[in-house]
């Protein structure tokens, strides 16, 4: 009797495996493409690869790897290994532009392979990948990976303009500050202020869209309680603060989270005298001493870009920066739509450049 039950069970298992084996490879690859582009974390995709040999083989199909989204490639810094590096290289070989950008940033800033990292980011930029264009602009503005003589402000502005055209809000904000301050481009205060307001408007639209999607998944009462709490406590990120508008803190790109964890958790070490960008959503480190500019008011924080400084001002530095008397005397509230961030100055370099 027991033997018959075992036979029936084995037949059922065999029948099920036969059904799956009968599904054409093209259909399985198509399903895996959808999954790789929509998973919320890398482990979801890895679990699929570990299910069986066939899914492992088809999951590494170039078409599947080329469709992998940012969250499928969002490797944690503490989980970095040769296999993770190999997986990203497979995705790059499959033509995944997001993987080119992710691996390029990791190689440039974490593994200190400047040439290969910049090359991968350039490959993504040539395919109109907005974050890659903006990251290359930051490299050009700072002369990252070289000396201060390697700065190319005009190239940085051109890259920012291209990324802004593609809808990258940080690039649009950076371009607005460049025009307003005459940094790498002829000064045009009116146009610069217009771009800063446009960046705020796009950020607001994106945040509201996120809120609406989140609210659709919540119960009505919980939604009301959250809105009441946010209004009463002022939690979130102030945007267009003259109008009293608060929005949730924008979610950073997974590779920026990786950079921040890489250095803060001690996976990688910063060189002597080198610092991280003080904006907590950035994670970029200096590649040489005094590469980043510091706040001209308090001198205690430093930023890789004017855009990072403006964001960090709204998130936290506005209430920490001092001395307040000096900030008031220097007219620190003169940045239009970005809420009056303090200026930035070069540190330890010949140029006495101030932005803002």
Q: What is the block-wise mean pLDDT of the chain (356 residues), using blocks of 10 residues? A: 51 58 88 91 88 90 93 90 93 95 95 94 95 95 90 94 93 92 92 90 77 62 49 48 52 88 87 89 91 85 89 83 57 42 48 34
pLDDT at position 216 is 64
Q: How far apart, in whole angstroms, are the C-alpha atoms of residue 61 and residue 59?
A: 5
pLDDT at position 259 is 93
**Alpha-carbon distances of 308 from 84, 133, 281, 311, rounded to whole Å:** 29, 16, 8, 5
pLDDT at position 295 is 84
Q: How far apart, in whole angstroms, are the C-alpha atoms of residue 110 and residue 126?
A: 23
List the beta bridge partners of residue 276.
285
Whether 139 is in a domain gets the answer no
Q: Reduce the secondary structure of 44-102 to three states and give it as a string.
A: HHHHHHCCCHHHHHHHCCHHHHHCCCCCCCCCCHHHCCHHHHHHHHHHHHCCCHHHHHH
Give the full edge-to-edge strand order of the sheet including 344-345. Answer: 302-303, 293-295, 344-345, 354-355
The number of distinct structural domains making up the chain is 1
Residue 330's domain spans which residues? Answer: 254-355
In angstroms, the first-to-last Cα distance of the chain is: 85
Task: Report phi then psi at 290, rounded to 5.
Answer: 60, 30
SS3 350: coil
- Interaxial angle between packed helices 254-264 and 97-105, expressed in degrees from 0 to 180 and rounded to the nearest 10: 20
- Calculate Rg over the CA atoms of the chain: 24
Q: How far apart, in whole angstroms, are the C-alpha atoms of residue 66 and residue 46?
A: 15
At 76, list the tokens. Answer: 């944690």
Whether 110 is in a domain gets the answer no
Task: Report phi then psi at 96, rounded to 5.
Answer: -80, 115
pLDDT at position 217 is 61
Whether 228 is in a domain gets the answer no
Q: How many CA atoms lie within 13 A of 337 on its CB side?
A: 23
Output the CA torsion sign for 250, 255, 258, 262. negative
How far from the centroid of its chain's Cα atoms is residue 211's Cα? 20
Q: Are 101 and 131 in contact (CB under 8 A)?
A: yes
SS3 274: coil
Q: Are 45 and 36 in contact (CB under 8 A)?
A: yes
Whether 264 is in a domain gets the answer yes
Q: How far apart, in whole angstroms, are the C-alpha atoms of residue 179 and residue 157?
A: 9
Whether 285 is in a domain gets the answer yes
Whether 101 is in a domain gets the answer no
pLDDT at position 146 is 87
Whether 117 is in a domain gets the answer no
Whether 273 is in a domain gets the answer yes
pLDDT at position 242 is 38
């Amino acid at each position: 009797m027991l033997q018959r039950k075992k036979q029936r069970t084995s037949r059922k298992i065999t029948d099920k495996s036969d059904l799956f084996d009968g599904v054409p490879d093209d259909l399985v690859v198509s399903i895996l493409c959808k999954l790789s582009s929509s998973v919320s974390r890398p482990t979801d995709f890895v679990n699929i690869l570990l299910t069986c040999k066939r899914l492992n083989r088809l999951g590494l199909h170039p078409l599947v790897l080329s469709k992998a989204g940012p969250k499928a490639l969002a490797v944690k810094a503490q989980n970095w290994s040769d296999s993770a590096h190999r997986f990203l290289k497979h995705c790059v070989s499959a033509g995944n532009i997001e993987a080119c950008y992710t691996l390029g940033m990791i190689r440039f800033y974490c593994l200190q392979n400047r040439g290969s990292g910049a090359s991968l980011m350039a490959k993504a930029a040539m395919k109109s990948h907005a974050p890659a264009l903006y990251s290359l602009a930051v490299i050009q503005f700072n002369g990252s990976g070289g000396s201060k003589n390697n700065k190319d402000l005009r190239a940085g502005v051109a890259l920012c303009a291209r990324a802004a055209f593609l809808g990258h809000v940080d690039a649009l904000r950076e371009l607005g500050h460049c025009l307003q301050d005459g940094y790498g481009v002829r000064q045009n205060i009116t146009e610069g202020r217009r771009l800063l307001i446009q960046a705020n408007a796009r950020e607001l639209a994106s945040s509201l869209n996120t809120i609406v999607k989140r609210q659709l998944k919540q119960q009505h009462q919980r939604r009301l309680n959250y809105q009441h709490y946010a209004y009463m406590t002022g939690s979130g990120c102030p945007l267009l603060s003259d109008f009293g508008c608060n929005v949730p803190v924008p979610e950073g790109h997974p590779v920026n989270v990786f950079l921040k964890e890489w250095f803060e958790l001690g996976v990688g070490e910063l060189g002597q005298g080198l610092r991280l960008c003080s904006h907590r959503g950035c994670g970029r480190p200096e590649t040489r001493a005094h590469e980043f500019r510091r706040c001209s008011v308090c001198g205690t924080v430093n930023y890789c870009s004017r855009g990072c400084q403006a964001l960090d001002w709204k998130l936290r530095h506005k209430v920490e920066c001092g001395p307040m008397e000096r900030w008031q005397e220097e007219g620190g509230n003169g940045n239009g739509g970005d809420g009056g961030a303090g200026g930035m100055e070069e540190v330890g370099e010949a140029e006495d450049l101030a932005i803002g």
